[in-house]
Structure 1
Amino acid sequence: MEEQDNALCNITIIHQDILDKVKKEMTDDDTLYNMAEIFKALSDPTRLKIVNALMLSEMCVCDISALLNMSQPAISHHLKSLRQTHLIKYRRDGKIAYYSLDDEHIKTMFDQCITHISE
């Protein structure tokens, strides 16, 4: 409890120079909203498993379904969420849709999170 008390300010003072600097450099609201949508999409362990699998190989719904032992409709639902946030993309080959990461940034985000957890 004593450590928590030390983290609190004992006096109210506004550092206007800091506020002005931070306000100028803060990320805009639209970008933060889009970031929140990405984090929301990645907040589901199943979606993280899908991203992890797609880091290793392009896969179709049937493959992902078999890998995760889930129904195809359930996998399709997760894929839709990941697609809407531009985390994954797909290409058609005849009647089959193959899914892959949208770009290398997704792998970097995944790896950075693992690094953070491992520290």
Structure 2
Amino acid sequence: MLADATRVRLILALRDGELSVNHLADIVDKSPAAVSQHLAKMRLARMVSSRQEGTKVFYRLANEHARQLVRDAIFQAEHALGGTPLHHHKDAEANQ
């Protein structure tokens, strides 16, 4: 499910709370129809949940696991780049 960059971007957009399909489409610079298709697949995988308010559909992360998967993938990618990963700098600063 996370092999598609648009889905990763949708998860990142939803980490702070619920958003409408149109708002998400603006954030990821895709059409609302394309975003709806991605979200439908993510809903089937139980990564997101939805609610309808009138004609608008709002999505939110179903649980913390999707956010953690993306976070871990980003951290792993930082390690693959070599050097000291950015997330280690933040941890080091927080511990001082």
Q: How far, CA to CA, are the matches of 2:35 and 2:63 in structure 1?
A: 20
What value does the CA root-mean-square deviation take over the aligned residues? Answer: 1.2
Q: Which residue of 34, 51, 75 corresponds with 2:11? A: 51
Deviation at 1:45, TM superposition (A): 0.5
Larger radius of gyration: 1
Match of 2:58, SS? strand
The letter of the residue matching 2:70 is F
Secondary structure of residue in 2 paired with 1:75: helix
User: TM-score normalised to the size of structure 1?
Assistant: 0.61
- List 4+ stretches of structure 1 deviating above 6 A: none
Aligned: 1:78 with 2:12? no
Between the aligned partners of 1:77 and 1:62, the Cα distance in structure 2 is 13
| In structure 2, distance between residues paired with 1:114 and 1:43 | 13
- SS of residue matched to 2:60: strand
Q: Which runs of 5+ in 2 are unaligned?
A: 80-96
Of 43, 46, 53, 1:93 maps to 53
Give identity over the alignment, percent.
27
2:70 is aligned to 110
TM (norm. structure 2) is 0.74
Work out whether residues 17 and 61 of structure 2, in 8 Å CA contact, stay in contact via their aligned partners in 1. Answer: no
How many residues align? The count is 79
Q: Structure 2 CA distance, aligned partners of 1:102 and 1:60?
A: 15
CA deviation after TM superposition for structure 1 residue 92, in Å? 2.2
Structure 1: stretches of 5+ with no match in the other structure: 1-40
d(CA) in 2 for partners of 1:118 and 1:69?
25
1:25-80 CA distance string (max 9 Å, x none): xxxxxxxxxxxxxxxx2110111111110112311111011112221111111111
Which has the higher relative contact order, 1 or 2, with Cα contacts under 8 A spaced 6 or more apart?
2
